[in-house]
Amino acid sequence: MSSQAPESPNQKDTDPKSPDPKSPGDQLNTLFTIPNQITMARLGLALIFFGILIADNYNAFGDAFGEGRHSSARRWGLNIAFVLFILAAVSDFFDGYLARKWNMVSTFGRIADPIADKVFICGAFVLLIHTSPYVHAWFAVLLITREFIVSGLRGYMESTGIEFGADSGGKLKMIFQSIAAPTALCTEANLWDIAFFNWASIFFLVATAILTVSSCISYILKAIKLLKAQPAGAKKLSDD
């Protein structure tokens, strides 16, 4: 006869090893934390920003008043777009910072934050092809291709259990992107006749292109190194 005491009906519920799924209310509270709200607000800023640049792509500002490329309406529009981009860039810093500081890191935030970044940055440079004389189609294609490659690599590596976070090259690339786009906007809106700012736009765009390529190569080499270092048995298990 076993001397083991019968299992209490509530023992399973109090077992620390048993899963503790969040209720729908808890999940909703997690979704609407301040860091996540900032991330969602950045997507809202992106839509307004895109709307302004799309209007500029169709010459809505210049044609409406018959003033052409440097009309006062166009300058106002591009300056508003400039401010929206700066606000979005600042929000990108604060949502991650606050999530870590207040221990509010969530699955939604980990997914939504990089998506918001890529949508905003890639969309901005696609629309700047028409707005700025210094942003060309190949530049936007380069940025988008790099994002696809790195995102694919990260997804595969993390699916095998290998951590594959952003490195210094990727962060530096993001910083230069966040400088190049507003510099091109501000130059086109206000400083098109000053050579220094035109050259500054070109410099940041060229630097961004170089960092885009170099960081992509760095991620590829990093992935190859990590995969070679992974034990063959572990790799087979992860593939299964």
The per-residue pLDDT for range 107-137, each reduced to its tens digit, is 787 788 888 899 999 999 999 999 999 999 9
Kindly state the average pLDDT of the residues 216-226.
93
Level-2 CATH architecture, domain 33-231? Up-down Bundle (1.20)
Using only C-alpha atoms, the chain has a radius of gyration, in whole angstroms, of 24
pLDDT digits (tens, 9 = 90+) for 138-191: 999 999 999 999 989 988 988 888 888 778 888 899 999 999 999 999 999 999
pLDDT digits (tens, 9 = 90+) for 31-58: 778 888 998 999 999 999 999 999 999 8
What's the full length of the chain, in residues? 240
Count of C-beta atoms within a 10 Å radius of residue 221: 10
CA distances from 181 to 90, 133, 201, 209 (A): 14, 12, 8, 12
Q: Is the pTM of this model over 0.75?
A: yes
